[in-house]
Amino acid sequence: MNKLESVFTNNKVLIPFITCGDPNRDVTKAAVRAMVEGGADIIELGIPFSDPTAESPVVQASYDRALKVGTYADEIFELVSDLRKEITVPFVLVTYANPVFSYGTEDFIRKAASCGIDGIIIPDVPYEEKSEFAEICKEVGISLISVLAPTSTNRISMIAKDAEGFLYISADAGEGESSTVVSDVRAQGVTLPCVTSASISTAIQAKTAATYSDGVVLPSGVVELLEKYGTEAPSHIAEYIKEIKAALQA
Amino acid sequence: MRLLGAEVIPVTSGTATLKDAVSECMCEWTRRISDTHYCLGSVMGPHPFPTIVRDFQAVISRESRAQILKAEGRLPDAVLACVGGGSNAIGSFYHYIPDQDVKLIGCEAAGRGIDTFETAATINTGRLGIFHGMKSYFCQDEHGQIAPVYSISAGLDYPGIGPEHANLYDSGRASYVAITDDEAVNAFEYLSRVEGIIPAIESAHAIAHVMKLAPTMSKDQIIVATISGRGDKDCAAIARYRGEDIHE
Amino acid sequence: MSNPNGRFGIHGGQYIPEILMNAVNELEAAYNRYKDDPEFNAELQDLLDNYAGRPSRLYFAEKMTKDLGGAKIYLKREDLNHTGSHKINNVLGQALLAKKMGKTRLIAETGAGQHGVATATAAALMGMECVIFMGKEDTIRQALNV
């Protein structure tokens, strides 16, 4: 069992997402500390991209803010290295394929591993295209997280059989559909944890989603606080995460 | 488009041009897959689009090859077409690809020049990347962020090129030249004046290269250039480019 | 020529979110089913000939040839097609395919507006709903097509 899977033992897992460098790297560091303080189990670190075709407007705007202050791969590796000195919570990078490919896929993934990244999600790399990323991930011990969608149907068993870490049920799925995906996964005999990100931002939504999944992703709740409070956001983020975590444990 | 019963949604994200419209379309498709077909307009995006669009556009070269054989009894020396995503160019090239003696030349939009940041000449200024569903050449910065491209031509104002063109370039079967806004506008006016044909500003990029190439060739050689579209839509914008205050 | 995975040399592929994979797979299957189907091709050819106005002319540009003083110049006149560009060739094919797949709605991107106009035209012809996405910048510079 790898570090990501072990987080799921006896625990409904909470996975907030944050864009690195929004509005700057110091705030990102403080926000990550606040999420850990609030009880986050895994943290998704978004690498900003100029053309995030699959993101909500809230996340698109945060990518723009982060790019404005020049947050690219090397800056993010440095940020992660610094955080790793004090934080043991697993980190999962969320990035489009091009920033990885353009950096040099092998080089990027090796550096990510050496600074303490545990998993990576590349939303525009489906099962059919994953080998050019998966091989090097395997070698350095990073889980390349597989994504499932409500439209995956006949593809679920193929995808689930070589998935690692956890299965990510994509934000495009509505709540009812996400639960169907989870039961389809279980029907295939796959025991890997399933997390859902179906537009969850409130404690009630998180609690509902956790009734059928092993964990919930907060795709934009933290980003919204950063948008609203800027450099003052970290204390609000700690409160927010605490509230969601309490709902999941109740 | 509205007259034809279509809803037109202006896209304001990013640079508010073609690439953002493609992104928005892909997003919309994920929201409503069951009854919706994404009718992608160029030889780009994920498989099978580049193949499907190429097959439907290949009618251009299927016809032109037969037509030139009938008119001249031989194949042309060069086939020229403008390239953005590249659907008219691949259609114009396709049936000539096995004819090794026929030069295939794609004309990209250089905008204000390939040594400036205001360009959309993908082959001439881009590098290998992954975007909009495909691996191909893209205008991008050193961090892999997609560049905000520019061309006077909205149809060529795209930071990527279809994967089949990228491969024709790699193999040396086709070459790709960059044509600036100025050259394209000159060609737009030239063809209108000399032949009474107002080409789309996109197509004028191909005509601009014909104007450079033809004088260097002998009188028994033949060029076939595709006029991909008509230029009525561009008249006001070209007049504005020339400093006249004309609006539709 | 692409290989079965949609690669042209090292280029191409399917770098899209999982949610779209079955949609492109369904499209590929439908295309493979119809591309060599005589009935589909006859229907498409009829649309190309009688609706789009094909074949387009290959015009000998004599004045331009004389003026430039070199090679003979022929122009392939895709501007003479219905809707005024080459875009109609692709749109008629895809709209017909979409109809065979049971789709009732077409969406499309457009830059100069030519592809948008062609798609809206085909949707009107085939009785399908149509939504066109166009960069706001482009809706200004190509207002005639909106």
Residue A51: its chain B contacts at CB < 8 A?
Answer: 14, 19-20, 23, 131, 146
* Mean pLDDT, residues A113-126 taken together: 97
Longest dimension (CA), chain A: 46
CA–CA min distance B224, chain C (Å) = 5
Tell if the CB–CB gap between A128 and C21 is shorter than 8 Å: yes
Residue B130: its chain A contacts at CB < 8 A?
Answer: 96-98, 101, 124
Confidence of residue B31 (pLDDT cuts 50, 70, 90): confident
A221-240 tens-digit pLDDT: 999 999 999 999 999 999 99
Tell if the CB–CB gap between B144 and A102 is shorter than 8 Å: yes
Q: Who has greater pLDDT, B32 or A92? A: A92
What pLDDT is stored for residue A56 in this prediction? 86
**Mutation site, C74, C77, C82, interface B, largest B CB count within 10 A:** C74
Q: Which residue of A has its CA nearest to C13?
A: A129
Domain positions in chain B are 50-241
Tell if the CB–CB gap between A98 and B13 is shorter than 8 Å: no
Tell if the CB–CB gap between B144 and A151 is shorter than 8 Å: no
Contact call for residues B122 and B42 (beta carbons, < 8 A)? no
**CB within 8 Å of chain B, chain A residues 156-215:** 172
**What is the Cα–Cα distance from B176 to B180, expressed in whole angstroms?**
13
Mean pLDDT taken over chain A: 94
Q: Which CATH class is domain A12-144+214-249?
A: alpha beta
Measuring CA to CA, how many Å separate B5 from each of C59, C89, C114, C121, C128?
34, 20, 15, 9, 10
Tell if the CB–CB gap between B163 and C121 is shorter than 8 Å: no
What pLDDT is stored for residue A19 in this prediction? 98
CA–CA min distance A102, chain B (Å) = 5
Contact call for residues A77 and A115 (beta carbons, < 8 A)? yes
Chains that touch C (3 or more CB pairs under 8 A): A, B
What pLDDT is stored for residue C1 in this prediction? 47
A153 φ/ψ sector (left φ>0, alpha ψ -120 to 50, else beta): left
By Cβ distance, the residue of B41, B195, B199 closest to C115 is: B41
User: 3-class DSSP state for residue B79?
Assistant: strand
Task: For residue A23, say if its preceding peptide bond is cis, omega within 30 degrees of 0.
Answer: yes
Residue B135: its chain A contacts at CB < 8 A?
Answer: 101
Residue A124: its chain C contacts at CB < 8 A?
Answer: 15-17
C60-72 tens-digit pLDDT: 999 999 999 999 9
Contact call for residues C91 and C115 (beta carbons, < 8 A)? yes
| C30 CB-near residues (< 8 Å, 6+ apart) | C97, C100, C101
Tell if the CB–CB gap between B227 and C79 is shorter than 8 Å: yes
Q: Is C68 on the interface with A (CB under 8 A)?
A: no
**Mutation site, B37, B94, B241, interface C, largest C CB count within 10 A:** B37
**What is the Cα–Cα distance from B51 to B72, expressed in whole angstroms?**
31
Length of chain A: 250
Q: Is C64 on the interface with A (CB under 8 A)?
A: no
What are the start-end ranges of the H helices in A69-130? Answer: 73-84, 97-103, 105-114
Tell if the CB–CB gap between A98 and B140 is shorter than 8 Å: yes
Q: Who has greater pLDDT, B81 or A201? A: B81
Tell if the CB–CB gap between C22 and A155 is shorter than 8 Å: yes
Confidence of residue B30 (pLDDT cuts 50, 70, 90): confident
CA–CA min distance C23, chain A (Å) = 8
What pLDDT is stored for residue A175 in this prediction? 62
What pLDDT is stored for residue B2 in this prediction? 92
Q: How many CB pairs under 8 A join A and C?
A: 52
Tell if the CB–CB gap between B129 and A73 is shorter than 8 Å: no
- For tokens 């899209």, the residue is C16
* Mean pLDDT, residues A118-134 taken together: 97
- Interface residues of A toward C, Cβ cutoff 8 Å, are 54, 97, 123-129, 147-155, 159, 170, 172-173
**What is the Cα–Cα distance from A92 to A84, expressed in whole angstroms?**
13
Residue A154: its chain C contacts at CB < 8 A?
Answer: 22
pLDDT of C5 strictly over 80 = no
Q: Which residue of C has its CA nearest to A171?
A: C19
Dihedral over Cα of B120, B121, B125, B131: its sign: positive
Tell if the CB–CB gap between C108 and B38 is shorter than 8 Å: yes
Mean pLDDT taken over chain B: 95
CA–CA min distance A246, chain C (Å) = 32
Can you read off the two tokens belonging to residue B102?
Answer: 């026929």
For residue A121, which of A97, A144, A99, A100 has the smallest C-alpha distance? A144
Structure pTM? 0.96
CATH-assigned architecture of domain B50-241: 3-Layer(aba) Sandwich (3.40)
Tell if the CB–CB gap between B154 and C91 is shorter than 8 Å: no
A58-91 tens-digit pLDDT: 999 999 999 999 999 999 999 999 999 999 999 9
pLDDT of A173 strictly over 60 = no
Q: Which string of DSSP letters, residue by residue, matches B120-187?
A: --HHHH-EEEEETEEEEEE-B-TTSPBP----S-TTT--SB--HHHHHHHHHTSEEEEEEEHHHHHHH
% of chain A surpassing 90 pLDDT: 84
Can you read off the two tokens belonging to residue B86?
Answer: 């590249």
Tell if the CB–CB gap between A149 and C5 is shorter than 8 Å: no
Contact call for residues B57 and B83 (beta carbons, < 8 A)? no
**Mutation site, A20, A47, A49, A50, interface B, largest B CB count within 10 A:** A50
Confidence of residue A172 (pLDDT cuts 50, 70, 90): low
B196-209 tens-digit pLDDT: 999 999 999 999 99
CA–CA min distance C10, chain A (Å) = 12
CA–CA min distance A72, chain B (Å) = 7
Q: Which of A156-165, B40-49, B75-84, B179-188 has the lowest mean pLDDT?
A: A156-165
CA–CA min distance C39, chain B (Å) = 16
